[in-house]
Amino acid sequence: MDIMQALAKELNLSVEQVEKTVALLDEGNTVPFIARYRKEVTGSLDDVALRKLEDRLHYLRKLDERRAEIAELIRAQEKLTPEISTALDRAVTLVELEDIYRPFRPKRKTRASVARERGLGPLAELIAAQNPAYTPSIPEAAAAYVREDGEVPDADAALAGALDILAEDISNEAEYRKMLRAFTVQNGSLVTSAAKEEDSVYKDYYAFNEPIRKLRPHRILAINRGEKEGFLKVSIELPEEEAIAKLAAHIIKDKNSPAVPYLMRTIRDSYDRLIFPSIEREIRSDLFDEACEGALRVFADNLRNLLMISPLKGKTVLGYDPGYRTGCKLAVVDSTGKVLDTAVIYPTKPREDIPRSRETVIRLIRRYAVDVVAIGNGTASRESEQFIAETLRSPEINRDVRYTIVSEAGASVYSASKLGAEEFPDFDVTERSAVSIARRLQDPLAELVKIEPQAIGVGQYQHDMKPARLSETLGGVVEDCVNAVGVDVNTASYSLLSYIAGISASAAKSIVAYREENGEFRSRAQILKVPKIGQKAYEQCAGFLRVPDSEELLDNTGVHPESYELTGRLLALFGYTKEDVRSGQIGMLRAKITLRGIDKVCAQLGCGEPTLLDIVAELEKPGRDIRDTAPAPVLRSDVLEMKDLKEGMLLRGTVRNVVDFGAFVDIGVHEDGLLHVSEMSDRFISHPREMVSVGDVIEVRIKSVDLSRKRISLSCKNLSEAKN
């Protein structure tokens, strides 16, 4: 297989584009570095496209390795024919390769292998030949294989053994399996029923039947989990007689042959006993793998959008970790993330003491000029929200303080982690959690990177997926986000630094250790003095590290050091200096470039258009944070309860999670509302991601409220009419 050709066709890229990109990857360049600083080489492929290419490259190389292994294994048996070599070359999936290898794989003991040991192979070949006239007849020929030792006691036993051999040969034929697999996918249905009669979250699948080709990923994952937990029985059903007829059409060569009745009996046995059970397992495995990949894409998108939520800069935040028995933990965090104070209050049962709790909150707000209260959305969140909303109305506060609900998914994981203990050795786990809740409002990216991505919980059925694949995919998302934003090398934690391109976990710790020993970095170039940071690592990481107080202005931008000289020539070409950049006096640079002609300027400078435009964007806003364009968190001053909601009410909410069937939206009550995919737009959309992303602030209409089941249904349809 020509891997470059295959990748180009699959990803709709040119072969040259693929070859050059693969060369960059093979040289050890990271995806963020390639996406940002090698656009001319890749044709401006972004990080998502590059990771998809890298993923498929690994798969196809693995496929080629297995292809070579199988060819060698068959060659060792002296059975590798030109036809088999051609079939191996044409195989495009691992399943197809394994189908070809199936007849040559070392056999465990089977009915067919026993029959071969008893010398019944020639009889099987006689029947398979389908001669129009047998002399002697097939039963007479079978009688010749009767053995005195009793292993083949009579002609019927001989015939049965020969048919077992034929059944296995049929089941091992790669073309038959490929044909029946395609037939099953096209015509089969996944059928489920209750494994035990009891109410459960899987009751919608107690009598479920849907064509395989129409199955949605979230249904497949739900069904698999229901089966695993013992609530569901699952099978694939399809028109069996039609499948057997298709198989027979490939095998029966002469309908008048006396072998036909025996072959039909064998075909049915092979299908029922060997082929269909195997294909059923393969298809269900494929369905699960495809559903997992689909869920991974949703999870990755959700995580990317969550990490890129706009930070709440310049605000002092009171982190509030709700609880019952052990009380609610508070942590005041200043605008730089430094912890100023902590406390424990008991505004909830069983130790309910609202007056003293209110006094503590008011004291902290006044003493530290708190701007926002960040309330975790876990246990006792609803009561805590009510308490804070009432407290903020107190005249003693005498300042405008708002609150917001923050997802605390993964906060307990961080609090109990080694990293949490290293950051706050004198805090208990709940105090660390309160700090984390406050900081993830101030800078979601910097705080959430401390948590395993799969623990953040913005997906569906992530616990059912292969851990290694989940970790690999989500780790790539975090890496892309961290590098897209860039980090201040003088303030970043080692957990944040470890996601920067080219920096390993040990190198990140070395950077922090060097910083603590030698003081703040004064330039990017100084990073080369850090142990474990060589030239290659520096090349990969330098453009993503920021040094705000450096004398070199470009050290606080996304301009790579390799382009500093180019940037100087660009500014000089149009009569600007770096001081003009620092003072914001280059507003006409882009216009001047356009007037002269981008192609002409690129030719004069000896660079590509993507690099030129990226440099201009950085010069226009040095030190910019790309997250500033994202929607700001919704800050509230009062609380809503479900009983306050009325059908038709219009509200603003924040998208907390996106799944295959819709999105969950925080509208300011304890329960998130479900915006079903069918209610997202007046036009048809195939997936919720077309309309919403995690972190989006959207307007919704209350469609219905079910107080008993605590369910809120939302809609975005006909919003203009609702406003009128």
Could you identify the residue written with the tokens 């931008």?
A: 557
For the stretch 158-170, pLDDT in tens is 999 999 999 999 9
For the stretch 629-684, pLDDT in tens is 888 888 888 877 888 899 999 998 889 899 989 999 988 887 889 999 999 998 99
For the CA atoms of the chain, what is the radius of gyration?
Answer: 33
Would strands 673-676 and 662-666 be described as parallel, antiparallel, or unpaired? antiparallel
Query: Which DSSP string do the residues of 188-236 spell out, in sequence order?
Result: -EEEEEESSSS--TTGGGTEEEEEGGG--HHHHHHHHHHHHTTSEEEEE
Arithmetic mean of pLDDT, 594-606: 96
Report DSSP state, residue 607: -
- Specify the pLDDT at position 721: 66
Q: Tokens for 235?
A: 């099978």
pLDDT at 1 exceeding the cut of 80: no
Going 311 to 312 to 317 to 320, the CA torsion angle's sign is: negative
Residue count of the chain:
724
Arithmetic mean of pLDDT, 69-88: 95
Phi/psi of residue 640, each to 5°? -110, 150
Residues above pLDDT 90, as percent of the chain: 78
- Specify the pLDDT at position 452: 85
Contacts of residue 84, defined as CB under 8 A and 6 or more positions apart, other chains included, come to: 74, 100
- Specify the pLDDT at position 164: 97
For the stretch 676-720, pLDDT in tens is 999 999 899 989 999 999 989 999 999 999 998 889 999 999 887
For the stretch 557-579, pLDDT in tens is 999 999 999 999 999 999 999 99
> May I ask the CATH architecture of the domain 516-629?
Orthogonal Bundle (1.10)
Query: Which DSSP string do the residues of 474-538 spell out, in sequence order?
Result: HHHHHHHHHHHH-EETTT--HHHHTTSTT--HHHHHHHHHHHHHH-S--SSGGGGGSTT--HHHH
For domain 3-104, the question of CATH label 3.90.550.10 is answered with no
pLDDT at 724 exceeding the cut of 60: no
- Specify the pLDDT at position 633: 85
Q: Tokens for 377?
A: 């959305």
Arithmetic mean of pLDDT, 316-330: 95
Arithmetic mean of pLDDT, 155-182: 96
Would strands 487-488 and 650-659 be described as parallel, antiparallel, or unpaired? unpaired
**182 CB-contact burial (10 Å; exposed 0-12 / middle 13-18 / buried 19+):** exposed
- Specify the pLDDT at position 68: 96
Cα–Cα distance for residue pair 562/379, rounded to 1 Å: 51
- Specify the pLDDT at position 456: 80
- 201-210 b/e (C-beta count within 10 Å ≥ 16 → b): ebeebbebeb
* Alpha helical stretches, state H, 30-120: 31-37, 39-42, 47-76, 82-90, 94-101, 111-117
Q: Count H helices, E strands: the chain?
A: 32, 15
- Specify the pLDDT at position 723: 61
Residues above pLDDT 70, as percent of the chain: 99
Domains of the chain: which residue ranges? 3-104, 111-298, 317-451, 516-629, 642-723
CA neighbor of 468 nearest in space, from 296, 298, 622? 296
**609 CB-contact burial (10 Å; exposed 0-12 / middle 13-18 / buried 19+):** middle
Whole-model pTM: value is 0.84
Q: How confident is the model at residue 196 (pLDDT cuts 50, 70, 90)?
A: confident
For the stretch 440-485, pLDDT in tens is 999 999 999 998 888 886 766 777 788 888 888 889 999 999 999 9
Q: Are 191 and 236 in contact (CB under 8 A)?
A: yes
Going 658 to 662 to 667 to 670, the CA torsion angle's sign is: negative
Q: Tokens for 264?
A: 């039909």
- Specify the pLDDT at position 133: 82
For domain 642-723, the question of CATH label 3.40.50.720 is answered with no
Mean pLDDT of the chain: 93
Cα–Cα distance for residue pair 359/350, rounded to 1 Å: 19
CA neighbor of 435 nearest in space, from 453, 412, 466, 464? 412
Query: Which DSSP string do the residues of 528-590 spell out, in sequence order?
Result: GGSTT--HHHHHHHGGGEE-TT-SSGGGGSS--GGGHHHHHHHHHHTT--HHHHHTT--TTHH
Could you identify the residue written with the tokens 């492929």?
A: 45
For domain 317-451, the question of CATH label 3.90.1300.10 is answered with no
For the stretch 377-389, pLDDT in tens is 888 988 999 999 9
CA neighbor of 30 nearest in space, from 457, 504, 372? 504
For the stretch 246-258, pLDDT in tens is 999 999 998 889 9
Contacts of residue 601, defined as CB under 8 A and 6 or more positions apart, other chains included, come to: 570, 573, 593, 612
- Specify the pLDDT at position 412: 83
- Specify the pLDDT at position 3: 95
**Of 107-116, 178-187, 625-634, minimum mean pLDDT range:** 625-634
Arithmetic mean of pLDDT, 230-251: 95
**186 CB-contact burial (10 Å; exposed 0-12 / middle 13-18 / buried 19+):** exposed
CATH superfamily of 111-298: Tex N-terminal region-like (1.10.3500.10)
